[in-house]
Amino acid sequence: MNAMASTEGRSAVNPVRVVSCVIARDPARGEILLGVRRPTPVSLRHPGVLSTPTMRIPACLFDTLLDAGGIAELHAGVVLIPGGRQADIGVAGSLGSPEAFVLESLLARKLGLARALTLGYFQAGAVLAAAALDLVEDPQGGDEAEWTAMLTYEVNVLTGADLIDAKTDAYSRLIWAPADRITDAFRRHDALLVDESLNPFEVCIGGLCIKSAVRLLQKPR
């Protein structure tokens, strides 16, 4: 059994497990999908936070992805993963891959792409690119901070980017943010640097998913 799953409680030893997607509109990675999180009855944390699409997953599934990435254990901070395992999304047989199964679940639940995935209208390539462990605050929701383990996948859309709606049940706004502005917006805690139409009184930027995305966007291509 993975050591991360050996105890109960939201601690650094047994954090909540999350998958995040840094979704590029095309392989050039000029624009990255970000969303303003909407509180729902089953997901109350982080309302109004500008984030990459994320989803909590079971510990056993997280550990399967972690082992497949060749990561023995997580340490505090963000670690880039060179040569991560590849996955094809939205193609025949894709659900035989644990990575594609998780990512397609995220895309269907959070971005409303179930039909597009079923019909093959949305397709992408994905690769495990970063792993992180950190104590994550809930600045807009007022809940307690919790230790969070996060695996981040780079997702390059091959077809169907235009099928992503401007909002979903999980996100009140979805925007294609210029990749070259995200780092500055994160460092200055100013979401309006990526989209000036966002409400400065409702939207903040600075979570673990954005921190991981910034690390990925800074790495040499």
* Mean pLDDT for the stretch of residues 53-82: 88
Distance CA 84, CA 154 (A): 10
Q: Residues 188, 190, 193, 194: is their CA dihedral positive or negative?
A: positive
Task: Give the residue with greater pLDDT, 137 vs 142.
Answer: 137
CA distances from 103 to 53, 55, 138 (A): 10, 9, 24
pLDDT, the chain, mean: 88
The angle that helices 98-111 and 59-68 make with each other, rounded to 10 degrees, is: 130
Query: Topology of domain 15-199+214-218, per CATH?
Result: Nucleoside Triphosphate Pyrophosphohydrolase (3.90.79)
* CA atoms 111, 106, 121, 23: torsion sign: positive
**Does an H or E element contain 22, and which?**
strand 16-24
What is the C-alpha separation between 132 and 122, in angstroms, rounded?
28
Instruction: Convert the pLDDT of each residue in 94-129 to its tens digit.
Output: 999 999 999 999 999 999 999 999 999 999 999 999
The percentage of the chain sitting over the pLDDT mark of 70, rounded to a whole number, equals 89
Straight-line distance from the first to the last Cα atom of the chain, in angstroms, rounded to the nearest whole number: 35
CA–CA separation, 192 vs 203, rounded Å? 9
Average pLDDT, integer, range 21-47: 85
Instruction: With cut-offs at 50, 70 and 90, classify the pLDDT of residue 139.
Output: low
Q: Distance (Å, rounded) from C-alpha 213 to C-alpha 192?
A: 17
Give the torsion through C-alpha atoms of 58, 60, 65, 70, to 10 deg: 140
